[in-house]
Amino acid sequence: MNTREARFKEKQDSIIQKEKSEKRKKVAKALLFFFLILFFLFALVITYITTIGTTSLIIHEEKLTNTRLPSTFHGLKVIVFSDLHYPSTFLKKNLDDLKETINIRKPDLIFFTGDLLTDEKKVTQKQKQTIQQFLTELDANLGKYAVLGETDTEEAKELLELAQFHVLEDSYDLIYEKETSPILLIGLDTRQKVPDFNQAFAYFQQNNANQDIFTIALFHHPDTITALLDSIKVDYAFAGHSHNGQVRIPSLPPFEKREKAEVYYDQHYEIGSTNFYISSGLGTSISPYRFFARPSIFFFRFTSS
């Protein structure tokens, strides 16, 4: 027969064991909740960087006012896009949506700043027909222009030209509106180690050239801007290649800077009197992810006053 003290101790031990059991249950529930939240956040991030982050298009719309712009170009609408890397993560459905997004804005000019296809050996003939049809069905009153990126071969150039894009390879074009004062468009071939600036700037070597003409420059690699501005003054410059970092944390540099986009990689820079815009691109390269650098296009409305 248990003594009073033994019975009391047995009761206390039972209470302590019960409290420990309840505590273990609470800890287990807390850990389970923590890991469920962690799993949910991980799944959310993976879903974002592989789907929303790579296909949810942003339209960066901006009004650009410049008194140097000829008055006949007041209201000029320009679309700039880059780095399709088709068919990486930006697929046919996305192309169809993009075509509608561009054409509904009725641009006067369309600029493509390089890297049309992903590895061409892996691109099927049907996919090449899809990208050509997309490019062909883009409408622009004053013309469609392109420069080539490091992934672009003669086949990519041919697809662009078949779609009525003027491919500028260290060359220029004068764009007229109502046959009055033109603007100058220069395209650099940055696939070369150093573009042929003399050839690209051949306009200025003409006797009757307007040395103060309103000038826009297109090229693929952003860091080319330094050598360009050492040679000539331009009002606006547009590039691609950097994907604005592709995977990054806001306000911080990209985790991995691309070669030839090590100095300039963000969306916009003012360099002296030049406004420089870098497209985030539409597809992906190296890794099929985007984080805080969603696919986007520029839509500019130019005004002279």
Please write the tens of the pLDDT for every residue from 16-36.
Answer: 777 777 777 777 676 666 655
- Contact at 8 Å (CB) between 54 and 276? no
Pairing of strands 274-278, 268-271: antiparallel
CA atoms within 13 A of residue 197's CA, in its CB half-sphere: 12
58-303 CATH fold: Purple Acid Phosphatase; chain A, domain 2 (3.60.21)
User: What are the backbone dihedrals phi and psi of residue 42, each rounded to the nearest 5 degrees, phi first?
Assistant: -60, -45
Summary mean pLDDT of the chain: 88
pTM, rounded to two decimals = 0.85
CA distance to 12, 19, 136, 146, 239, per residue, from 112 (Å): 79, 69, 13, 5, 9
Higher pLDDT, 9 or 104: 104
Count of CB atoms within 10 A of residue 106's CB?
11
Residues 228/233/235/239 CA torsion (nearest 10 deg) = 0
pLDDT for residue 280 is more than 90: yes
The pLDDT of residue 22: 74
Residue-wise pLDDT tens digits, 111-122: 999 999 987 678
pLDDT digits (tens, 9 = 90+) for 57-93: 999 999 999 999 999 999 999 999 999 999 988 889 9
What are residue 187's DSSP bridge partners?
171, 218
**Least confident stretch, 135-149, 168-182, 267-281:** 168-182
The DSSP result for 3-56, as a single string, is -HHHHHHHHHHHHHHHHHHHHHHHHHHHHHHHHHHHHHHHHHHHHIIIIIHHH-
Residue 247 is predicted with a pLDDT of: 82
Task: Assess contact for 149 and 83: CB atoms under 8 A.
Answer: yes
The pLDDT of residue 300: 98
Token reading at 27: 């800890």
pLDDT computed for residue 290 by the predictor = 81
